[in-house]
Amino acid sequence: MTLQKNNQSIFSLAVVVAALGYFVDIYDLLLFTIVREPSLEGLGVILKDKDAVLAASTKIINWQMLGLLIGGVLWGVLGDKKGRLSVLFGSIALYSVANFFTGYVQTVPQYAMARFIAGIGLAGELGAGITLVSELLPKNKRGIGTSLVAGIGLFGAVAAYYTFQFTDKDWRLCYKIGGALGVVLLLLRISVAESGMFKSVKEQNVQRGNFFMFFTNKARFKKYALAILIGLPTWFVIGVLVNLSNRFGTEFYGESKIESGKAIMYAYAAIAVGDILVGLLSQYYKSRKKALLTFYLLTVAGLILFFSGVNSNDTAMYAICAFLGFSTGFWAIFVTMGAEQFGTNLRATAATTIPNVVRGALPLINLLFLDVLQNMFHFNLWTSGVITGAIVMAITLIAFYFTEETFHKDLNYIEE
């Protein structure tokens, strides 16, 4: 088929707006982990009652993750049926409204429902943005372009942390600011062009956005499963090690004043740098897989440092969390590879569902880490972390071995 030539710059409006969209997305996605305790206290949860805090925070984050899973499928299908831009507009409109609502919640159930709606909206941002940028840029630039999107976007976590500090820890105002940022972003998106590849496929009589097509063909299902599994270390590191860094610190070296929100901020700042570098590295290697393997090896080194005697004080813990963040800064390449694995009629569905299934795998990782290893087998925090990390990395490296290289792949094709 004949399409418009992809000759846009990596600093084109589409790339810039996609990056800003992901910035707002990450701001909102990580805000709860940063404002968790003061927001729960504001709703009447007694912070000294650790069981009540754990129950309330688990309920809220699980509802948000469920929203991400549902939204991943919803926006992915819409992205292939209606267009990439429809998702970029619809998703941010939904989570902007949800953020404003979160600023007024009065009970934990209301909080959980607001984050569920926000999760549905947040699910569409990255996948649609990566798909659009991948299709608009020439193949020799798309790795750098998508890395810029993720790299710039991930600084949203840093913005969330400092917004919380600068607003005198007014968690309600932080959510309202997130909603306002979404409205501004909607205005910026008006001038962004739709993907030429999607326009061409839309004119053909082919199935678009059929989620079940991933499961009706053995080879396609294998590609889809592998594309998910190669991203698992990111949320093990953030969702377990960094998120619980204060608890690990207390067990590793006694008295700890680690703030998990600050640890997350350091980790995400480093992830952003890693995401930009991994794109440049894949360009240097002319290979997505070589760049990804380099970061996997760094992740293994970071895990060894985390569970070693080097991690013996708060300063070391913050530094290692930052290093682990940098080493798992392959989110952009991971999602880009997911988009590149599939034809134009399924690309948005793949690129949107894959990262959200990885996010949705966190409860399963927590199930292994907390319920099985600690509660059932009574292992301590160190042993549970080491075993969980070893299993996650083993699964990931096996999946990586069987994943195909996509650096030079032409995206102008469809799935039959």
In this predicted model, what pLDDT tens digit does every residue of 211-257 receive, in sequence order? 999 999 999 999 999 999 999 999 999 989 998 898 899 999 988 89
Mean pLDDT, the chain, rounded, equals: 90
User: Which tokens hold the place of 382?
Assistant: 């160190």
Note the pLDDT of residue 390: 98
pLDDT in the model for residue 7: 57
Residue 198 has pLDDT above 60, yes or no: yes
pLDDT bin (cut points 50, 70, 90) of residue 394 is very high
pLDDT, tens only, 78-123: 999 988 888 888 898 999 999 999 999 999 999 999 999 999 999 9
Kindly provide the b/e burial profile for residues 152-172, where b requires at least 16 CB atoms within 10 angstroms of the residue's own CB. bbbbbbbbbbebbeeeeebbb
Mean pLDDT along residues 357-371:
88
pLDDT tens by residue, 109-121: 999 999 999 999 9
Whether pLDDT at 134 is above 70: yes
How long, in residues, is the chain? 416
- What is the pLDDT confidence band of residue 6, given thresholds at 50, 70 and 90? low
Contact (CB, 8 A) for 317 and 249: yes
Least confident window among 7-11, 258-262, 387-391: 7-11
Residue found under tokens 């969702």: 239
CB 269 within 8 A of CB 158: yes
- Predicted confidence band at 4 (pLDDT cuts at 50, 70, 90)? very low
Confidence of residue 14 (pLDDT cuts 50, 70, 90): confident
Taking only the tens place, the pLDDT of each residue in 19-35 is 988 899 899 988 998 89
| Cβ-Cβ contacts under 8 Å for 284 (sequence gap 6 or more) | 291
- When pLDDT is cut at 50, 70 and 90, the band that residue 1 belongs to is very low
CA torsion angle 228 246 120 211 (round to 10): 10
- Please report the domains of the chain, with CATH numbers, ordered by start residue: 13-402 (1.20.1250.20)
pLDDT score recorded for residue 131? 87
Say whether pTM exceeds 0.75.
yes
3-state class percentages of the chain: helix first, strand second, coil last, to nearest 5? 75, 0, 25
pLDDT of residue 163: 96
| pLDDT at residue 195 in the model | 67
Tens digits of residue pLDDT in 261-277: 899 999 999 999 999 99
Locate 52 and state its tokens. Answer: 């009540």
Tell me the pLDDT tens digit for each residue of 160-179: 999 999 999 999 999 999 99
Q: pLDDT by residue (tens digit) across 399-414?
A: 999 999 999 898 888 8
> Residue 127 — pLDDT band, cuts 50, 70, 90?
confident
pLDDT in tens, 18-75: 898 889 989 998 899 889 889 999 999 998 887 788 788 878 988 998 899 899 999 9
pLDDT digits (tens, 9 = 90+) for 293-344: 999 999 999 999 999 999 999 999 999 999 999 999 999 899 999 999 999 9
Q: How far apart are CA 19 and CA 24, in angstroms?
A: 9
- Contact call for residues 254 and 266 (beta carbons, < 8 A): no
